[in-house]
């Protein structure tokens, strides 16, 4: 059975106080919930992705806590004259375990191409210490035009063509319908499941073993009120959480929804 992942993308929010309070608060809530269950421990993974200035503090705060730390972006280059960029070796030295790649905001606001995202993914595999989380998804116009599968397939193919299917043996995919991020709109559980199933089927055509093992998380306005329905779907293995990851109550509430799903299985 695939292990659920609940990841919080803080985007350009945060402070030193928030970093300390959120990590300690979420850890306390989820551990208390686990102790009340028959399992007594977490059966899922928790990740927070703060802005770069707070990565080191987040790693320190998460030490001995059931929370990993990831970055929101990384350069495909390991060193050199790339002002403002951060390398994988730098992230690894800080203690980061994951990195988001190709988030819709990076693609749309900063013009990251499929090729550039694929190069970053490949660099993660070469480095081997940091797990890439590949973000893919369609805009509202693309969905309305019936292009969802074409867009998702093209974003996947750019990476597969670069690293092959084996590149997904130690990676996470995040399906984020762009039309459901920060808009208040949310894909129905059935809509999200359909795309997750399409992604898994596409990978299955290349490797059944990898397709069944890879975690595909949903990133589209997940909240405590809808997490249980979303995460109960067959091919949804957790969430990439935006706004709801900025408060202890909402992020911990989503984690607790996962805990309840695990208890029922």
* DSSP assignments along 163-199, one per residue: H-GGGGTT-EEEE--GGGSSSS----HHHHHHHHHHH
Tokens 């990195």 sit at which residue?
A: 99
Q: CA angle, corner 25, sides to 23 and 35, nearest 5?
A: 110
Topology of domain 5-264, CATH: TIM Barrel (3.20.20)
> Where is pLDDT greater, at 140 or 148?
148
What are the distances in angstroms from CA 244 to CA 22, 56, 173, 192, 217?
12, 22, 20, 18, 15
pLDDT for 224 beyond 80 = yes
Q: Which residues does the annotation mark as catalytic?
A: 103, 176
Q: Where are the domains of the chain?
A: 5-264
Contacts of 90 (CB under 8 A, 6+ apart): none
Picking from 215, 203, 235, the residue whose alpha carbon sits closest to that of residue 134 is: 215
pLDDT grade for 40, boundaries at 50, 70 and 90 = low
**Arithmetic mean of pLDDT, 254-258:** 95
pLDDT grade for 182, boundaries at 50, 70 and 90 = low
**Could you read off the pLDDT of 14-35 as tens digits, one per residue?**
999 999 999 999 999 999 888 7
**Could you read off the pLDDT of 166-176 as tens digits, one per residue?**
999 999 999 99
pLDDT at 41: 73
């Amino acid at each position: 059975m695939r292990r659920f992942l609940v990841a919080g993308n803080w985007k350009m929010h945060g402070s030193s106080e928030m970093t300390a309070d959120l990590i300690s608060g979420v850890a306390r809530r989820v551990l208390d919930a686990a102790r009340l269950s028959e399992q007594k421990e977490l059966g899922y993974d928790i990740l927070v992705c703060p802005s770069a200035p707070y990565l080191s503090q987040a790693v320190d705060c998460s030490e001995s806590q059931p929370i990993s730390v990831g970055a929101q972006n990384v350069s495909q280059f390991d060193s050199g004259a790339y002002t403002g960029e951060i390398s994988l070796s730098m992230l690894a030295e800080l203690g980061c375990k994951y990195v988001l790649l190709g988030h819709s905001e990076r693609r749309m606001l900063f013009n990251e191409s499929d090729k550039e995202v694929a190069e970053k993914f490949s660099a993660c595999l070469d480095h081997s210490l940091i797990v890439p989380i590949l973000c893919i998804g369609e805009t509202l116009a693309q969905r309305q035009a019936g292009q969802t599968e074409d867009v998702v397939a093209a974003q996947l193919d750019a990476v597969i063509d670069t690293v092959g299917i084996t590149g997904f043996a130690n990676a996470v995919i995040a399906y984020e319908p762009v039309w459901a991020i920060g808009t208040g709109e949310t894909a129905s559980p059935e809509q999200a499941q359909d795309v997750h199933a399409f992604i898994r089927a596409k990978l299955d055509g290349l490797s059944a073993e990898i397709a069944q093992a890879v975690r595909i998380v949903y990133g589209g306005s997940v909240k405590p009120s809808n997490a249980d329905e979303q995460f109960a779907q067959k091919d949804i293995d957790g969430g990439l959480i935006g706004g709801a990851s900025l408060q202890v109550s909402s992020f911990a509430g989503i984690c607790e929804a996962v805990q309840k799903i695990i208890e029922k299985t």
